[in-house]
Structure 1
Amino acid sequence: MKLTTKGRYAVMAMADLARFSSGRPVALADIAQRQEISLSYLEQLFAKLRRGDLVKSVRGPGGGYLLARSADNIRISDVILAVDEPIKATRCEIGSPKGCMGSSSSRCITHDLWEGLSYQIQGFLSGVSLGDVINGRVAKSPDLMDKSLTASAAD
């Protein structure tokens, strides 16, 4: 899975903003301190989040950032995509006829597996809002874990 620090930090910062805003702007310096993320890095991320219409900036004393819409209406996938982070597990473009085997135009033998995983991840992240994250409503699936552990033990 190709989810780098940029995507993780953007989600962490947006969750912090959603949690601590209470209708008032939050300074990036406060987010940087709470989340232990470089302020200059956050400034770059928030420029992209602003262009993606996920946050709005407030200038002047007491300024900072606000969510552009409610936390329940911002999907985690929106945050990740706003900072130009692809959600994919393949080397090649999802849905592209071009190959993932470098110079040849053929696809690797496991391409469909990784492409399917990418769609599952995209679907999961599209189904989770910032509100879900800050209110502890992210679905955990112990049933899936139990099934995989049982299957491994049977082998």
Structure 2
Amino acid sequence: MKFSTRSRYALRLMAELACCAPDKPLPLKEISERQQLSLKYLEQIVTPLARAGLVKSERGSQGGYRLVKPAAEYTAGEILRAMEGSVAPIPCLESEVNECPLCGQCFTLPFWTGLDEVINQYMDSVTLADLAHSLRNIQDPDGQNPSAGCSALKNN
């Protein structure tokens, strides 16, 4: 299984938003500069996140994007699924009901089902707050610079 660059960047974008004050929108240009990512690419990435209801845009000179709910209420799995759709390791596990005509005689299905469960359990165990905490530690490893990156938010 391989995740797209869009998904990797979506996690980075969301972590940056999680580090900002909840009521303060963050311009994509600022995220682009902090994460050294193309602004045009971030514009494409934020669209499915907004469509999924994970972020909200605010227009105007003080506009940008902000999270819809507290960072601790998002999971990495939720964000990745918004970008990728299903993350099932095989096509017959992509829907709620396995409609594969061979599923009753597939001796490898329990392996794939177990792998799918492990992947989803792990992705859903990591919160956006966890990722934001990791970002804060990278941007300000000593915790000494209150203006470093996203350290404006300590309790999200």
Partner of 2:154: none
Partner of 1:117: 115
Q: Please list every run of 5 or more consecutive structure 2 residues that lacks an aligned counterpart in the other structure.
A: 135-156
2:23 and 2:66 map into 1 onto residues whose CA distance is: 7
Partner of 1:97: 99
CA contact (8 A) 1:28 1:64 kept: yes
Give 1:15 deviation, angstroms: 0.6
CA-based RMSD: 2.2
The AA in structure 1 aligned to 2:72 is D
Q: TM-score, normalised by structure 2?
A: 0.72
1:72 and 1:30 map into 2 onto residues whose CA distance is: 23
Worse-matched range after superposition: 106-115 or 19-28: 106-115
Higher relative contact order (CA 8 A, sep 6+): 2
1:130 and 1:38 map into 2 onto residues whose CA distance is: 22
| SS at 1:98 equivalent | coil
Give 1:86 deviation, angstroms: 2.4
CA contact (8 A) 2:93 2:113 kept: no
2:107 and 2:9 map into 1 onto residues whose CA distance is: 33
State whether structure 2 residue 76 is matched by structure 1 residue 66.
no
Q: TM-score, normalised by structure 1?
A: 0.73
CA contact (8 A) 1:28 1:42 kept: yes
Aligned residues: 131
Change (3 A) 1:21 1:85: farther
Partner of 1:50: 50
1:84 and 1:26 map into 2 onto residues whose CA distance is: 24
Change (3 A) 1:32 1:93: same
Partner of 1:27: 27
The AA in structure 2 aligned to 1:131 is A
Q: Please list every run of 5 or more consecutive structure 1 residues that lacks an aligned counterpart in the other structure.
A: 100-104, 137-155
2:2 and 2:107 map into 1 onto residues whose CA distance is: 19
Deviation string 1:34-87 (CA, Å, 9 cap, x unpaired) is 222221221122111111111111100021001001001111111111123422
Instruction: Extract structure 1 runs of 4+ deviating beyond 4 A.
Output: 105-109
